[in-house]
Amino acid sequence: MAGEDQLISGMAGRYAGALFELALEEKAVDQVKKDLEQFDAMIGDSADLNRLVRSPVFGVDEQLKALGAILAKAGISGIAANFLRVVTTNRRLFAVRGIIRGYRQLVARHKGEVSAQVTVAEKLSDAHLDALKGALKSVTGGKDIDLDINIDPAIIGGLVVKVGSRMIDSSLRTKLNAIKFAMKEAR
């Protein structure tokens, strides 16, 4: 499955593909997606959890112990929890966010949705999310949209949207850089 999608490649793609196949077989695709998205949001919200996931300083036993407590507190169990334990045991927890992104893309393709990566400077309100989904739906020919939203204050304002191979960068940072470049050229 992972080999069919050029956007999902490498080690993260192989793990995402294996998880997707298992979830499909067990008829738990949506539950696994929900659990993984919850775990991904937890990583994004907690600097300590992000450090635990990314740092090679922590050993497998330490990561498994911490992961077990985190999963229990979050109520994540079943296939997603077992998968996260396998990834940890295989020393691949550092790639879990890429794996989750790959899994989401596979689910979106399976459901006939279009996956879009959106980078914003701050969290979007529900009204803005709905407006963004509506705009992207009209651009993609009426297909449902699965948004993968990343918050990056460095873009200052605006947003960067990537749908397939198309990217629209309307961030304030890019606009300011363009003005800066134009002013240098005018001298």
pLDDT tens per residue across span 2-31: 334 445 678 999 999 999 999 999 999 999
pLDDT of 107 over the 80 cut: yes
Please give the angle made by the CA atoms of 144, 5 and 151, to the nearest 5 degrees: 55
Q: Is the pTM of this model over 0.75?
A: no
Q: What are phi and psi of 57, to 5 degrees?
A: -65, -35
* Closest C-alpha to 71, from 62, 82, 60: 82
Q: Where in the chain is the domain with CATH 3.40.30?
A: 113-186
Is the domain spanning 113-186 CATH 3.30.160? The answer is no
Which positions ≥6 away from 70 have C-beta within 8 Å? Answer: 42, 49
Contact of 64 with 91, CB cutoff 8 Å:
no
Q: What count of residues does the chain have?
A: 187
| Ranges in the chain annotated CATH 1.10.520.20 | 2-107
CA separation for the pair 55, 160 (Å, rounded): 28
Closest CA to 146 of 29, 59, 46: 29
Interval 64-89: pLDDT, tens:
999 999 999 999 999 999 999 999 99
Give the domain 2-107 fold. Peroxidase; domain 1 (1.10.520)
